[in-house]
Chain A
Amino acid sequence: MNVESKKSRWVINLVLMLASIVWLFPIFVMFKESLRVNGFENYIATLQNPNFPTFVFNSFFVAFFMIIISITILAFAAFAFSKLEFAGKRLLFNMVLAGLMLPVASMIVPLFFTLRSFDGLNNHWGLIGAEVAFFLPFGLMLIKGYFDELPNELMEAAYIDGATILEVFFKVMLPLAKPALATALIYAFLNSWNEYLMVLTFMTDPAYQTVTMAPSFFKDALGGDPGKIYASLVLISLPTMVFYIFFQRFFQKGMTAGAVK
């Protein structure tokens, strides 16, 4: 590219290096603080606190079923919105997509009462349902966009061979859509794992709370011992960090897929 001199290349590298250091600094701070005073003892103390495994279990439980339900609903819906013709298609699609703009904060009161009437407060399934509903619009945009790119020929050939619509869906289209489903899965996990406001509002009992409530819980329970609070922060970030390291390309793909629309 048009970087003429060695000097300007050097400047660019320097800026990038400095920026990288700035970007790594808060993560470094988190690790450093987590080792304060007692070193790794902080991690052991956090893990041994009987509430910590509960938070982690709740998070995995909620995320697992949130993903299963979302992806199942999304696979059918994205395929239909992309490849089938039916009355009211545009209207229904726009109706779902409009949910993208909606701040959760504007919905906490109605959601609170809806969940209460289904006994969904302090109940994993209530949280799962709400998280699914708020993930669906983004997920639909992501997966439908991918289906739109897939050619129709394969599907038509299958029909001519006498395949039913369900066979076409499960045997032809779904395998092709795997990358989009994987991207959606990762974003679903991220959304669920990092969800804060809904847990804060709907799960008032620590027995049902997820990991995002752990830091403030430990602030009260551990007498505000910062080392242990930071240890809990590192621990609750580990799953997303591991996910990120292994599935990076899906993350960045999802980012741009969201940009197309």
Chain B
Amino acid sequence: MQTEQQELPIKPKAETLKPAPRPNVPKKKRKGKMKQNMVGWAFVGPIVLFVVAFIYYGIFYNAYNSFFSWDGISFDKVFVGFENYAEMFRDPDFYLSLKNTFIFTILTVTIQAFIGLVLAYFLHTQGPLRTAMKSVFFFPVVLSPVVLGAAFSQIYDFQFGYINEFLRAIGLGSLEQNWLGDPDIALYSVIAINIFQWTGSSMVMYYMAMLTIEKEIFEAAKIDGAGFFRTLWSIVFPNLKGTTFTLSILGVIGGLKTFDLVWITTAGGPGSSTEFISTYLFRKSMLQQEVGFSSAVAIILLTIALLITYIQLRVQKKMDN
């Protein structure tokens, strides 16, 4: 019985998760260990293969190409050392795309968390229609940014758009804007669409987390005379720190990944006023055939993503302790 259990390739109990190394295990048992490894590797082989072939190979490919001047078509790849990186750091559009991505991320994360929290709190106190409303707010999450971008282009349109027509109708025509065509405003118009799309997910996450706060805490707050918003600010919000942190990380990743929405609504324009790091990369590599250069941009983007992961892991560790 005992030996039989030892040879099982399962994790029997939590305490035996990490068996201490035993150098002089009998040969038979070592064979069992090998078999255990083989079974595990066979199970995870496909996923590792996919990730290595499509992702890790790509990272090395990018790193290698970033040292060459190459248009992606011709056979002459010229080694240029760090010239691509130097050129990138001289390009004002690169900084602009970083800045836009940064503004996008900061505004999305904060506003979305705020609206999501308030909606979740309101829904939490509300009885009827709660489920229906939750569905309404979450709904845009499942739509393609292509679809939402097109719908909002109609809302933002300068001549016939809903916003400007509404402003004219109530006599505030002087406030009408070229929402997607004005370089000073376009970025914020795109950000608004993104917030619209993803607030539902923040709301659901806050809502689920609120359900785990014990009723007694709310009761105690009530007895202490804390008002509705006072409770939100001093009881609910601090209790949901973990959710807020997760949302921030998801928001930062989302910001780095954002492409579809920008490409559909403004394609980075007018000028470069809504250029994002991902649209910049796409433009350089696919439209301007600067493959070597774009690989350098990709490496910088990967470095940023890696840095954020590192920070996330550090903060998570601190919060767990």
Contacts and interface: CB of A to CB of B under 8 A. Distances in A.
Interface of A: 1-4, 8-9, 12-13, 15-16, 19-20, 23-27, 29-30, 33, 72-74, 76-77, 79-81, 83-89, 92, 95-96, 98-114, 129-130, 132-134, 136-137, 140, 152, 155-156, 159-160, 165, 168, 190, 193-194, 196-197, 200-201, 212, 215, 226, 229-230, 233, 236-237, 240-241, 243-244, 248, 251-252, 255-256, 258-259
B259 interface: yes
B291 A137 contact: no
B201 interface: yes
Given A2-B222, A196-B144, A197-B263, 10 more contacts: A23-B139, A84-B11, A89-B40, A101-B308, A102-B55, A134-B54, A160-B5, A201-B286, A229-B150, A244-B139
A88 B40 CA distance: 10
Interface residues of B, number: 101
Nearest to A103: B257
B195 to A, nearest CB: 11
A156 B12 contact: yes
Interface in B62-93: 62, 65, 72
B288 to A, nearest CB: 12
B253 A101 contact: yes
Contacts of B294: 109
Contacts, number: 287
Contact of B61 (A96, A113, A140): A113
User: Taking chain A's interface residues, is the majority helix, strand, or loop, or is none over half, making it mixed?
Assistant: helix
Contacts of A102: 55, 302, 305
Contacts of B133: 16, 20
A240 B143 contact: yes
B23 interface: no
Contacts of A133: 50-51, 53-55
Contacts of B12: 152, 156
B138 A252 contact: yes
6 contacts: A23-B137, A23-B139, A101-B306, A134-B55, A156-B8, A159-B10
A104 to B, nearest CB: 7
B102 interface: no
Interface string B278-292: 110110011000010
B143 A237 contact: yes
A226 B160 CA distance: 12
Given A212-B146, A251-B142, A256-B204, A110 B51 contact: no
Contact of B119 (A19, A100, A107, A155): A19
